[in-house]
Amino acid sequence: MKSLIKILLSTSILLSINNTFAQAAEPETSKVLVKFSEPMSHEGIFDVSNYKIICEDNHEIKIYKVGVVDGDTAVILFTEKHQPRKAYRVIVSNLKDKAGNLIHQENNYALYQKDQ
């Protein structure tokens, strides 16, 4: 059975933070909240290689760390600082929901923009 898991289009960029995890990140970073339509398995969810963020100029944004939101329906990606007024695409791969269904490739991305 094909999984209907998808990244909800309400993916949003959160405000920049200062030095939240100084030993792992640069001084100015951004956080990206990625919401899923179903609770996700923890298998691979913390692996930064399962996420990719690409800026409209095809620059890949460095992801430092992944945090899971209570309920397992969202993750927070801790990334290098985003540029204002740029569009971004977040891509998720190799993740499964709690029933073991792999995220479907047609629904594994979302678009968002950093306004400020």
Question: What pLDDT does residue 23 have?
Answer: 44
Q: Are 41 and 100 in contact (CB under 8 A)?
A: yes
How does residue 41 score in pLDDT terms, banded at 50, 70 and 90? Answer: very high
pLDDT at 68 over 60: yes
> Helix, strand, or coil here: 41?
coil
Q: Which amino acid is at 89?
A: R
Q: Are 63 and 23 in contact (CB under 8 A)?
A: no
Among residues of the chain, what percentage have pLDDT more than 70? 76
The residue whose two tokens read 């996420």 is: 51
pLDDT in tens, 83-100: 889 999 999 999 999 999
Q: How far apart are CA 80 and CA 65, in angstroms?
A: 10
Task: Report the CATH number of the 12-114 domain.
Answer: 2.60.40.1220
Among residues of the chain, what percentage have pLDDT more than 90? 63
Q: How far apart are CA 81 and CA 34, in angstroms?
A: 17
